[in-house]
Amino acid sequence: MTPKREKALNWEKDWPDWVREPQFQDYGGEPETRPVKVNCSLGVNPLNNIFGIDRLTIDISKTYRYPHNPEALAERIRARWPLIGPVNLSWGAGSMGIISNLAHILSGRNVKVLGVTPQFMPALREFALAGARVSTVRLSPGRFALGARALADALEEDTTVLYLDNPNNPTGSALSLKDVEFLAKECASRGTLLIADEAYADFLDDAESAFNLDMDNIICMRTLSKGCGLAGLRIGYAVIRNPELRRACEERALSYAVSDIAAAAAAELLPRIDFGAMRKRVQALKSRVVEFIAGYGAFAIADTHPAVPIFLLTWKGEGSKEEDDLFEKLMEAGICAESGRFFELGAGSVRMRVPPENQFEEFCALWRGLFG
């Protein structure tokens, strides 16, 4: 039994309020312990293995040393994005590793971060935990339409960072590159940094990426976890064109965040991905899922891009009440989603990732069992 202390430890009394009671919740930490029959929660590729192989041989002769810069992987990424240039890539343990590093660099009570609600709240949480003052533009319930003009109007002259997940998580909606460029220029006129988190953008055409904008007030980041189907490798990359900020990120980044084995596997597997074919399959699957759910008439689906495999679903059934918990209702059938609570929404909403392609019929059967 741990003895009771008479005096609090120093860290307890010195703990900042914004760390003791975080402004935003996190998700994806503790796995669901109840039986899950169809997993529609975390944002992996619903096609599962998209590479056509189950095994890969990796040279481990040099794994005794610490990882070096993943140059072979960098060459694959630069070949896809010619505008990146030779020195602008930064790495992290998923895009979340890059966000966490940026939050520590851009920290302090004078830092003002603007986002939207709903979006990927763990990113805003990282900035809040680093002491930044975080505010959001709340999107109108129902469609949750995201407009560039409304975001620009919410910028203040001393806004430090505009955080934009594009496509939006949880809705799956996406601003066009033209809209992102407009926001980047609005940010530049105020001295604001635009962080474009393109975690789900591999489901969109490459021409729509902010990687194509050569502006030094944009940080654009991606992960291999979503469209690339490599969540288990935990690799994220960012283009930081501002040399001073890139140097700060490199100096303060978690050392050796990307292992040699993960980088080598990714470099071998990326050329195997047919992004065009993958997007068509995901879009077809999402169309079937959305059409099936919409047929019930009891649910509102927010604005969403047809090829992005996530969407925001709100329960509007007859007799439903605001306190009804859609996440728990779906879990009764073994369908696991992400609760709207994690996106600063009510319990009547969930973020759905479309079910795995090979479980669509099972998903529909479970849904019918719940809702008739």
**Chain segment 199-253, per-residue pLDDT in tens:** 999 999 999 999 999 999 999 999 999 999 999 999 999 999 999 999 988 888 8
Q: How far apart are CA 175 and CA 164, in angstroms?
A: 10
The per-residue pLDDT for 16 is 67
The per-residue pLDDT for 334 is 97
The per-residue pLDDT for 51 is 93
Q: Which comes out higher in pLDDT, residue 335 or 323?
A: 335
All CATH 3.40.640.10 domain ranges of the chain, comma separated, are 71-272
Strands 236-240, 299-301: pairing is unpaired
The per-residue pLDDT for 319 is 46
Read off the pLDDT band of 3 (50, 70, 90): low
User: Highest-confidence range of 166-180, 241-255, 307-321, by mean pLDDT?
Assistant: 166-180
Q: How far apart are CA 8 and CA 28, in angstroms?
A: 32
Read off the pLDDT band of 48 (50, 70, 90): very high
Closest CA to 334 of 106, 30, 16, 34: 34
All CATH 3.90.1150.10 domain ranges of the chain, comma separated, are 11-48+274-371
The per-residue pLDDT for 249 is 87
Least confident of 1-15, 267-281, 304-318: 1-15
Q: How far apart are CA 313 and CA 333, in angstroms?
A: 17
Tokens of 155: 């910028």
Tokens of 244: 């001073």
pLDDT at 163 over 50: yes
How many CB atoms lie under 10 A from the CB of residue 34? 9
Three-state DSSP state, 349: strand
DSSP 183-242: HHHHHHHHTPEEEEE-TTGGGS-GGGSGGG---TTEEEEEESSSTT--GGG--EEEEE--
CATH topology of domain 71-272: Aspartate Aminotransferase; domain 2 (3.40.640)
The per-residue pLDDT for 9 is 64
Q: How far apart are CA 366 and CA 333, in angstroms?
A: 6
Q: How far apart are CA 106 and CA 123, in angstroms?
A: 13
Average pLDDT along the chain: 90
- Superfamily of domain 11-48+274-371 in the CATH hierarchy: Aspartate Aminotransferase, domain 1 (3.90.1150.10)
The per-residue pLDDT for 320 is 52
The per-residue pLDDT for 254 is 80
The per-residue pLDDT for 14 is 67
